[in-house]
Amino acid sequence: MIVAGNWKMYAGPDPRELADRLASVSGVEVVVCPPFTGLAACVHAGLATYAQNVHWEREGAYTGEVSAPMLLGIGAAGSLVGHSERRQYFGETDEGVARRAAAALAAGLDVIACVGETLAEREAGETEEVLRRQVSVLEAHARLVVAYEPVWAIGTGLTATPETAQDAHAFIKSLLDVPVLYGGSVKPDNAVELMVQPDVDGALVGGASLQVESFAAICEAAAAAA
């Protein structure tokens, strides 16, 4: 089981307090994804730390970007790529996501690549078409994990039913043999029922990762479901 907390553009909890609270949780790989300004503090607290994005070039005139060697240099272990908010607000494409993932993996970072459909795409019966397109640009790798995040369930309070999540995860695994996390309004009170599904390998947690106790509760739920 893998549980990753995406802090987005929030300061997040105190890294040392979080590390102390998670010390008693076993059987789960726990990752935090703070903003760039919080990476060093999370690394120093002993947390497995991922960036929220990474560029495909090692260096260059790419204002506002950060490279895999730079992340490795401060002790980061991996990065998210292709989060729906990056696709929606910053125009990231499937091709760009593939380039970011490939460069990060080649440099030695772990990668969580995010995929998922919008509400309009789901209502149009296009979920599998969208997932096939987004997953097809990725290549299986020992350090690659996919996160299925139905866009309609991110920050909305809506959550895919366990059966809906299971169907999507099984479909993704039929395309690419990697672990698949569920992301979309994961909370302590729904974590167990989601993570006991046979093809759900953990969670990508947003808002609930900003509080120590709620995030720890999800990690404990993952341990119970493992």
Q: Give me the active site residues, please.
A: 83, 149
Q: Could you tell me how many residues make up the chain?
A: 226
Residues in CB range of 213: below 8 A, 6 or more apart: 21
Relative to beta strand 180-183, strand 144-148 is: parallel
| 164 class by beta-carbon count within 10 Å (0-12 exposed, 13-18 middle, 19+ buried) | middle
Around Cβ 51, how many Cβ atoms within 10 Å? 23
The span from the CA of 54 to the CA of 221, in Å, is 30
The answer to whether the beta carbons of residues 31 and 51 sit under 8 Å apart is no
The answer to whether the beta carbons of residues 6 and 50 sit under 8 Å apart is no
